[in-house]
Structure 1
Amino acid sequence: MAMKLKDFVSEARSQIEEIKPDDVDRLRSEKPDLLILDVREPGEYEAGHLRDALNVPRGVLEPAADPDYKKPNPTLSTAYERPVIAYCATGGRSALAVKTLNEMGFSEVYNLGGGYENWEAEDRETVTD
């Protein structure tokens, strides 16, 4: 049977670690080299995002994270040993991103469960650039 998007997301979620907004605050204080990764599209990011988040849309994640690619993202492609929290709007795209980053060899990657919508629903700090 062919897989649908929900199947890919469900499979990814079964293989990754999801965290809650309180965990983001804790990790920010415990791990000064923490990278917050927003995998939404640029328009979504510009409308509001977590403080200090790096925007790398899910569709370009692999080349951006691969240091052997001709034009990798200089921050992401050197973050293999840094803790990373990925998020998207609701947690699906970021679940896929976390699974991918794990497979690429990133050492400590988390998915923000519920994504940006959950973050906002808890009235957490957001910024625009």
Structure 2
Amino acid sequence: MADLSQIDWTKQLNEDNNSVVLDVRTPEEVALGMIPNAIHIDIFKGQGFIDEVNQLDKTKNYYVYCKAGGRSGQACAVMNQLGFDNAYNLVGGFSQWKGEVAFQE
């Protein structure tokens, strides 16, 4: 797991052809907007979160975020324990996000 600043996280994501963006916030938080093309798996699902994450492709690089960076850091740690080699935590989370924002339909 690596904690990356907004600048480093975005730069690395934009240069990564094997990337997946993962949003681990609650559905209520996601309703306020999300980073475009992100997959949403709520970390508060507990075992459900682990089950859903375990179905993801472990060969991909995951760029993980939450509201402020705490839950996404936990998610990255869990992912590392599950065998994901590359999980990158967005420090400051969505609350400090300066990039594009998408809204679910």
Q: How does the TM-score come out when normalised to structure 2?
A: 0.87
- Corresponding residue of 1:27: 12
CA distance in 1, matches of 2:91, 2:13: 16
The alignment-based identity, stated in percent, is: 27
Larger proportion of helix: 1
Larger C-alpha radius of gyration, 1 or 2? 1
Any idea what SS the aligned residue of 2:39 has? strand
Q: Supply the RMSD in Å over aligned alpha carbons.
A: 1.3
Poorly superposed stretches of 4+, deviation over 2 Å? none
C-alpha displacement of 1:59: 2.2
How many residue pairs get aligned? The number is 101
Equivalent residues of 2:6, 2:92 under 8 A apart: no
Structure 1 position 105, deviation (Å) = 0.3
C-alpha contact 2:66 2:94 (8 A) present in aligned 1: yes
TM-score by structure 1 length?
0.72
Q: Is the aligned partner of 1:57 residue 2:32?
A: no
* Structure 2 gap ranges (5+): none
1:104 and 2:82 equivalent? yes
Q: Which has the higher contact order (CA 8 A, sep 6+)?
A: 2
How far 1:29 sits from its partner (Å)? 2.7
